Structure 1
């Protein structure tokens, strides 16, 4: 008996998947047949995607909101599409692009048109990712040029850090006391201690 599955992916845990879920529920897919991954599409180490792959059988139907849910670039989208449709013998429906519905036009002309649309949309998806990365890189470069600093804020050690270190080295105080005086974690204390000693040797 044919089953219908849905697949949802959002790039991070704080992104909302409701838009994709609403579209899949509109296809009357059972909740237990909707697989959701909340992580980047940079690789296919996605547990729910792997579950979907194991579940799908010949003549099953897979629904996705947009073509880029299948992969991160042109090649991967093409590979995943062909894996499901050719090797698994399943059908795919892309809800954002009704032309990409393998249930229709299974003759030579229908397959030809689907392949053309798939290639165009796969290229567009990869091109958009490339443009986003380029805009991000340009934005970061411009921010750095303005003096904006990225990463964790630098922890400023107290002026008496050197004196505290010397007391600790002479075993006058414990590391716990040294950490308490400096108001930092033990790992930060040791990291700054290495930096302090390196500066003293320089």
Structure 2
């Protein structure tokens, strides 16, 4: 049986390109497992569901090695579990000419040695690329902050209605619960706004 595993890091990223590649390989839609989650951890619901279904002789297709994960040790552990413990195969479409566990198996002990070398090399490259991306992102944030760019949610303007209710609450004319009700605010929103208002008036 053929399985496809596709992953993007955030919910905003488009997963269609990877899905199309799996469909082109003749993989049924119900056997294409998708996660919109970071690759740092392998505790992803759909990956784990696929992992439980894979049996000896099955084939697992990935668009690229880093779709499996972004942790060097984790990639090696998962690859060896699927290909050696379960007895299934993994095919990485981005490097299919080199990275296809079916080819390694056909070479016997030499294939296992070559597979270990390729896996270590490609996993290492994937992790180093992730570290470089993180470093570039951190540098970009530092530079942007120097130029006055602010990150995070923009603070909302404090309305006059809030100021009035705040003043009544502080003077103990009303309770915090009553102020929240009057403003139609949830507790976490109310107290966050209180903090922002008080900080702006220091």
TM tier, shorter chain? 0.7 to 0.9
State how many pairs are aligned: 196
Residues 78-110 of structure 1: per-residue CA shift (max 9 Å, x gap)? 111011111111111111112111112421222
Aligned to 1:34: 32
- Structure-2 residue corresponding to 1:102: 101
- Measured against aligned partners, the alpha-carbon deviations of 1:146-197 in whole angstroms (never above 9, x if no partner) come to 11111122234357866643334342795258638xxx77644433445667
Give 1:57 deviation, angstroms: 0.9
Change (3 A) 1:199 1:65: closer
TM-score, length-scaled by structure 2: 0.83
Assess if the C-alpha contact under 8 Å between 1:70 and 1:76 holds in 2.
no
C-alpha distance in structure 2 between counterparts of 1:162 and 1:69, whole Å: 50
CA distance 1:7–1:199, change in 2 (3 Å): closer
- Distance verdict in 2 for CA 1:105–1:156, change over 3 Å: closer
Q: Which residue of 1 aligns with 2:147?
A: 146
Q: Deviations over 1:99-130 (max 9, x none)?
A: 11111242122222222221111111101110
Q: Write the distance in 2 (CA, Å) between the matches of 1:198 and 1:97.
A: 54
- Structure number with higher helix proportion: 2
Give yes or no for contact 1:77–1:122 (8 Å, CA) kept in 2.
Answer: yes
2:60 aligned residue: 62
Q: Which runs of 5+ in 1 are unaligned?
A: none
Residue range with higher mean Cα deviation, 114-123 or 125-134: 114-123
C-alpha separation between the residues in 1 aligned to 2:69 and 2:196? 43
Specify the SS of the correspondent of 1:43. Answer: coil
Question: Where does structure 2 lack aligned partners over 5 or more consecutive residues?
Answer: none
RMSD (Å) for aligned C-alpha atoms: 2.8
2:84 aligned with 1:80, yes or no?
no
